Amino acid sequence: MNAAAAEARIALVGNPNCGKTALFNRLTGSRQKVANYAGVTVERKEGRFTTPGGRSFRVLDLPGAYSFDAASPDEAITRDICRGAFPGEAAPDVLVCVVDATNLRLHLRFVLEVRRLGRPMIVAVNLMDAARRRGIAIDLPLLARELGVPVVETVAVRRGGAAALVDCLDAHGAIAPAAADGASHDLHAEVQRLLSLAVRMPTRTAAIDDAIDRVVLHPLLGLLLLAAVMFAVFQAVFAWAAPLQDLVSAGVGALGERVSAWMPEGPLRSLVGDGVFGGLGTVLEFLPQILILFLFILALEESGYLPRAAFLLDRLMDGAGLSGRSFIPLLSSFACAIPGIMATRSIQDPRDRLATILVAPLMTCSARLPVYTLLIGAFVPRREVAGWFNLQGLVLFALYLAGIASALLVSWVMKRARRRDGEHALLLELPSWRLPHWRDLAIGLWERARIFLRRVTTIILALTVLLWFLSSFPAPPDGATGAAIDHSFAGMIGHAIQPLFAPLGFGWEICIALLPGLAAREVAVSALGTVYALQAASDDALSAQLSGIVASEWSIATGLSLLVWYIYAPMCLSTIAVIKRETNGWKHAGIATAYLFALAWLAAFATYQVASWVFG
């Protein structure tokens, strides 16, 4: 009975789309820990559970792999851990090889590859409910005898669906190592032999999959549906999130006031009230948008729609040096580049992934909207164009398009630059359609929200405190006129960098506002308010006052130049920090910052010069 004391380690391994993660969620519930494997940006998911028999297990959910002949960093990790060759990770005591009962022709080959390792293993035949519905009959005892390892059935999405696996782990004190067959058998031939022996499959594909795919992948209907899905996601992200965002910012604001009311007047109170809570409010305000976005992406991913979207768009994206898989990360970046860059982990080709990360900041994120709204309101007349359209709306649309066009151009240039680096493979599986299970959605959402919050709060908090310091100290001398920020370090920096921005038409007021805008772009608006020493009860009122000042004090050319600057706006330190994390180093974060800055400067310069000439 002393075996019960020690925690055994098991690893779930299997092809992508075998339902491995759903099984992992079923086994461990919310007792999961998500981190990265040492030195790489591959997600490491570990959880724990205790069997009814009292044995406790640590479960590792390994990245999906088609083969140990690894074609991506994910697959290499899975291979190395299964072999016990990954530094810092002990070899699992038992490998649980998960297969999709409806896709045995593909998945059994990997089982045979795992069996060759000669390690203790159990085969979990998952999705048995779907298989039965399709009339697929699998003789599990016969399969177990032929494979020489325990075979159990699981239905990850059903309560108690992992019972057979748990019982199997409970019953065997130790699972015997699989008989390594050493010989260089033809694995495909062996799979065919097993299938003909133990499996009866009436049809090759599910009729429902064929029917849905006929519409979803249709050259015209499919694209229309994709546009509709994108529109729905956008609508939800921007419309549904708005009331929640107001709630969050009001809540954080009220909390900040409560806390700072307890504190004596002075710099510390200003730090807590303006710096910490101000910064926190800025970040958390994006949380509803990001959660809604994540929920949609998870649902689309679990249902099997995402690979279909990648299928429809691959050719277009490939032409621009990206891949169909880049679509979702770029779509997410319209809300915020940070979740977008995090979502690039689903791109297996490291070069495609890098290209996507580098252009993601060019997608117009929602933080740019307040800046756009202010400037468009001040400089673009509200005029009808062609009887139907509003000129202001058209300009906003053009700004979005300019971002997309720039991204395609940049990735195309990168593709040309690395032309001779070999072929990029697509080789994308389109899995069966599945109804997402709420439990998997909830766990996925919780995980991503946690990662986002942890990453962003630490970075943004540190930055906002720093920027608060820069713009609050030193205090203006007695009897000084003008805005306090003008006398601060931020003011000094603004004045110092102004010559660099003079060719773009930016005065020192704008230069100062660019600094706090480093934390989050929309903060530039309230910073301008500070520079012009405005006092307003609400953000909307501030924006209205500011609009008047800006329209009278700046030239049209300056306004347009700043608008164009924000298409590229390299000034989002959180994005840069996330790029650094996701690419494991400063190199690509530096490249992204430098090229975005260069593009922003050049485009704003051209805009200012042309506009000065046109509008005199």
Partner 1 sequence: MKAILIWVPTLRLSDLQVGQGGTVRHVDDHSAADAIARRLRDLGFVAGETVRLVARGPFGREPLLVQVGFTRFALRAAEAARVRVSQDPA
Query: Closest by alpha carbon to 414, among 504, 309, 326, 310?
Result: 326
Binding residue for partner 1 (CB under 8 A) from 85, 242, 263, 316? 316
Residue 379 contacts by C-beta under 8 Å, 6 or more apart in sequence?
Answer: 550, 551, 554, 556, 559, 560, 563
Q: Which is nearer to partner 1, 4 or 217 (CB)?
A: 217
Q: Which is nearer to partner 1, 122 or 310 (CB)?
A: 310
Residue 199 has, within 13 A of its CA and on its CB side, a CA count of 26
Binding residue for partner 1 (CB under 8 A) from 34, 42, 71, 212? 71
229 touches partner 1 (CB under 8 A): no
Kindly indicate which of the ranges 105-113, 564-572, 583-591, 595-603 contains the residues binding partner 1, using the contact rule CB under 8 A.
105-113
Q: Which is nearer to partner 1, 66 or 286 (CB)?
A: 66
Query: Closest by alpha carbon to 304, among 208, 395, 374?
Result: 208
CB of 583 to partner 1, least distance (A): 23
The answer to whether 381 and 395 have CB atoms below 8 angstroms apart is no
66 touches partner 1 (CB under 8 A): yes
Kindly indicate which of the ranges 5-13, 198-206, 295-303, 355-363 contains the residues binding partner 1, using the contact rule CB under 8 A.
198-206
Residue 32 contacts by C-beta under 8 Å, 6 or more apart in sequence?
Answer: 24, 25, 45, 46, 47, 443, 447
Residue 611 CA: distances (Å) to CA of 222, 506, 514: 42, 14, 21
Neighbours of 373 (CB within 10 A): 16
Q: Which is nearer to partner 1, 186 or 246 (CB)?
A: 186
Neighbours of 145 (CB within 10 A): 13
CB of 426 to partner 1, least distance (A): 5
330 touches partner 1 (CB under 8 A): no
224 touches partner 1 (CB under 8 A): no
| Tokens matching residue 102 | 């409806």
Q: What is the dihedral of CA 591, 595, 598, 602, to 10 degrees?
A: 170
Binding residue for partner 1 (CB under 8 A) from 7, 181, 257, 429? 429
CA–CA gap between residue 83 and residue 99 (Å, rounded)? 19
Q: Which is nearer to partner 1, 246 or 429 (CB)?
A: 429
Count residues binding partner 1 (CB under 8 A).
Answer: 36
314 touches partner 1 (CB under 8 A): yes
223 touches partner 1 (CB under 8 A): yes
368's torsion region: left (phi>0), alpha (psi -120 to 50) or beta? alpha
Residue ranges in 165-194 that form contacts with partner 1 under rule CB under 8 A: 188
63 touches partner 1 (CB under 8 A): no
Pairing of strands 8-14, 384-385: unpaired
DSSP-H helix ranges across 360-418:
369-379, 391-417
Binding residue for partner 1 (CB under 8 A) from 428, 461, 492, 497? 428
Q: Which is nearer to partner 1, 386 or 427 (CB)?
A: 427
CA–CA gap between residue 524 and residue 512 (Å, rounded)? 9
Binding residue for partner 1 (CB under 8 A) from 42, 91, 106, 409? 106
CB of 20 to partner 1, least distance (A): 16
CA–CA gap between residue 77 and residue 269 (Å, rounded)? 49
Binding residue for partner 1 (CB under 8 A) from 405, 417, 425, 594? 425
Burial pattern 493-522, b for ≥16 Cβ within 10 A else e, equals: bbeebbeebeebbbbbbbbbbbbbbbbbbb
The answer to whether 411 and 320 have CB atoms below 8 angstroms apart is yes
| Tokens matching residue 512 | 């100062």
Helix H or strand E segment including 260: helix 241-261
Binding residue for partner 1 (CB under 8 A) from 205, 235, 458, 584? 205
Query: Closest by alpha carbon to 121, among 147, 89, 142?
Result: 147
Query: Closest by alpha carbon to 89, among 81, 97, 99?
Result: 81
CA–CA gap between residue 80 and residue 232 (Å, rounded)? 41
Binding residue for partner 1 (CB under 8 A) from 105, 269, 345, 437? 105
Kindly indicate which of the ranges 82-90, 303-311, 390-398, 458-466 contains the residues binding partner 1, using the contact rule CB under 8 A.
303-311
76 touches partner 1 (CB under 8 A): no
CA–CA gap between residue 356 and residue 15 (Å, rounded)? 25
- Per-residue contact string for residues 364-403; x = within reach of partner 1 by CB under 8 A: ----------------------------------------
67 touches partner 1 (CB under 8 A): yes
CB of 423 to partner 1, least distance (A): 6
69 touches partner 1 (CB under 8 A): yes
Q: Which is nearer to partner 1, 213 or 285 (CB)?
A: 213
CB of 216 to partner 1, least distance (A): 10
CB of 313 to partner 1, least distance (A): 8
- Per-residue contact string for residues 131-170; x = within reach of partner 1 by CB under 8 A: ----------------------------------------
Query: Closest by alpha carbon to 597, among 566, 563, 574?
Result: 566
Q: Which residues bind partner 1 (CB under 8 A)?
A: 66-67, 69, 71, 102-106, 109, 188, 201, 204-205, 213, 217, 219-220, 222-223, 307, 310-312, 314-316, 318, 324, 423, 425-430
